[in-house]
Structure 1
Amino acid sequence: MPITGIDLVPASLLIDTHAPLDVLQAMADYRIRTVTQVLENIAYRAEAGCDTVVLADFSKLLVIPLRDGCDLMDVIGRRLRAQVKA
């Protein structure tokens, strides 16, 4: 499955929807926790002297692994729902 946000054909970044659930979960966890750690570091800094352009660019950078993590969680959800129906 192509990662969300990449509209090129053929897509070069893909999620293996048949990978084991624990592998998919581990990769989603890694991506989401990494973004969380960076955001916590920014939020709890004593000085946040960054201009709007830097923050906007930084936000765009963090969206990539966060969206990847959400895509992985979506695949996990679909797989779990399919197991329940079977």
Structure 2
Amino acid sequence: MTRYMPITRIDCTPATLLIDTEAPLDVLFETADYRIRTVTQLLENIAFCSDISSDTVVLSDFCKMLTIALRAGCDVLDVIGRRLRAQAAG
């Protein structure tokens, strides 16, 4: 695993949104936790909001924005999993 891993589906060259795969596990966990909980909170707010517009363009853009944060959180969890498996095999 390379030291700096780009977040999935960020197709910039060179990549600018990177995960430090050698960061302490607790820092990686806090990073993933924050991103996933933020997306969850926003989705819960939308789900229980009766005044939300059904404008598909707005909803599509909003979903794309949430996808970036959720993907980053999942990618960090993937790094944590790889590191834990390597430690267990170690």
TM-score category, normalised to shorter length: over 0.9
Distance apart, 1:28 and its partner CA: 0.3
Show structure 1 runs of 5+ residues with no match. none
Q: What is aligned with 1:72? A: 76
Task: Return the letter of the residue paired with 2:88.
Answer: V
Please identify which structure carries the higher strand content.
2
Residue 16 (str. 1) matches residue 23 (str. 2): no
- Name the stretch that deviates more: 40-49 or 68-77: 40-49
Give the length in aligned residue pairs: 86
Q: What is aligned with 1:37? A: 41
Q: What is aligned with 1:5? A: 9
Residue identity (%): 69
| RMSD, matched Cα | 1.0
Deviations 1:22-63 (A, max 9, x none): 000000000000000000000011233331111111101110
Task: Return the letter of the residue paired with 2:52.
Answer: A
Work out which structure has the larger RCO, using CA pairs closer than 8 Å and 6 or more positions apart in sequence. 1
